[in-house]
Amino acid sequence: AQSVTQPDIHITVSEGASLELRCNYSYGATPYLFWYVQSPGQGLQLLLKYFSGDTLVQGIKGFEAEFKRSQSSFNLRKPSVHWSDAAEYFCAVGEKGRRALTFGSGTRLQVQP
């Protein structure tokens, strides 16, 4: 069975600082990996996804993530955080042939002025 761990429940960064949100997954084969963002009172929006190929994936809003098979990780990064990035971020893993994703518990990002 696949699983996703987001070790950080809550992170606070200053506006303009860099950001890294951690995600570790457990899955036997090559996973499909996703990062979603959820603003208060809203559904989830896809930031980026990894299926295969280049292990550094670019997404929307200036986010990127790197797939590291040896570490079973798919950490999300942004070089300079904006106040509007404050939200909850979810890492998810999928598997080929199954129409469902397994989500992590989420990391709530707070941005200080």
Partner 1 sequence: ETGVTQTPRHLVMGMTNKKSLKCEQHLGHNAMYWYKQSAKKPLELMFVYNFKEQTENNSVPSRFSPECPNSSHLFLHLHTLQPEDSALYLCASSQGTDEKLFFGSGTQLSVL
Residues near partner 1, by CB under 8 A: 4, 32, 34, 36, 41-46, 49, 51, 90, 94, 96-97, 99-106
Asked if 92 and 104 count as a contact pair (C-beta separation under 8 A), the reply is yes
Residue closer to partner 1 by CB (options 8, 15) is 8
Least Å from the CB of residue 103 to partner 1: 4
**Nearest distance from C-beta of residue 17 to partner 1, angstroms:** 26
Give bridge partners of residue 110 from the DSSP assignment: 12
16: left (phi over 0), alpha (psi -120 to 50) or beta: left
Shortest approach of partner 1 to residue 105 CB, angstroms? 5
Nearest to 102 by CA among 18, 9, 14, 26: 26
Per DSSP bridges, beta strands 107-112 and 10-14 are: parallel
Q: Least distance (Å) from partner 1 to the CB of residue 40?
A: 11
